[in-house]
Amino acid sequence: MHITIHARPQIPWQRDYSICLSAGLAKHGISNSVQDYDSTKGTIAIILGPHWGRHLEMENFLQVNRAFIGKSEYDDSDTHCISVGWCGMNGRADFCLNDIDKDRWKLFMKEDDIHEYHKEGGVVLCGQADNGRSAVELADFYKHSKMAFPDAVFREHPSKPQEYVHNWSDTKLAVTLNSTVAVDALLNGNSVVSCDEGNPVYAWTQHNTADEYLYPDQIEIVQTLANCQYTRKEIQNGRFWEILSGERNGPLSSFHRNESKTSREG
């Protein structure tokens, strides 16, 4: 078996993690190589970054993206982490969640980082980058969301100029497509509408409408998401491959949740 790691050398985090991934695979005796993105077929691939995988014609690949919980801004510490899953990104990825470590989330965040749900406040429509990974066009998502929630304020993606400074404490509902901003919203006390299965919290939230607000168990969510991401040390020592070479059990969007832990309020 040979694994090709696709990364852009001019992007610091991709250059760094491509080296870490190569070292981790070598720990398991797996032949691998690092190269810029191309259209190689017929090989297992590891693809770094959210935008490029759709250009590669591969059926069996690992997608590497930002972490779901904890510090996501890139740094070179051993505790920095990334998410890694099979054949998709965020909610579409299979993270081989066969054995959930329910205390793992404490490596990445504190209980004080989880805020009680707001029952009062407005609605925020969350902008995002167009990663080409949705069954819904981004422009259509904005159009339909504005029709469904005409009073919603628009929160621009952080990579773009901010005309409005949004505070999570001012809103009770966040309307999202498939961005990790949905995790931020839930942990900051907002109920969430997820409009695409690629959303990392799709399995726990309402979809497309908010006829009733859902208040899923935030601890259960971070327990799950913590098992979808790995520290730099776990990448380098090959721990990630020990997990991801195990049995696959379907995308995160269809992950079974304990209904008794989800409260509903109209």
- φ, ψ for residue 57 (rounded to 5)? -90, 80
Cα–Cα–Cα angle for 230, 77, 69, nearest 5°? 45
Helices (H), the chain: 12-27, 138-148, 181-187, 218-226, 232-236, 239-244
Q: By percentage, how much of the chain surpasses pLDDT 70?
A: 84
Evaluate if residue 160 carries a pLDDT over 70: no
Q: What is the pLDDT of residue 129?
A: 75
| 263 pLDDT higher than 60 | no
Q: What is the mean pLDDT of residues 126-144?
A: 78
Is pLDDT of 264 > 80?
no
Residue bearing the bigger pLDDT, 139 or 174: 174
How far apart are alpha carbons 194 and 181 in whole angstroms? Answer: 11
Cα separation of 107 and 233, whole Å?
13
CA proximity to 216, closest of 117, 149, 141, 91: 117
pTM exceeding the 0.75 threshold for the entire prediction: yes
Encode pLDDT of 6-62 as tens digits.
998 899 999 999 999 999 999 999 999 998 866 555 578 899 987 665 555 567 899
Report how far residue 65's alpha carbon sits from residue 48's, in angstroms, rounded to the nearest whole number: 6
Provide the b/e sequence for 81-115 (b: ≥16 CB within 10 Å): bbbbbbbbbbbbbbbbbeeeeeebbeebeeeeebe
Give the single-character DSSP code of 225.
H
- Please provide the size of the chain in residues: 266
Quick check: 38 and 6 in contact, CB under 8 A?
A: yes
The closest alpha carbon to 132, from 178, 164, 200, 87, belongs to: 178
CA distances from residue 28 to 10, 15, 63, 83, 96 in whole angstroms, order as listed: 28, 21, 19, 20, 18
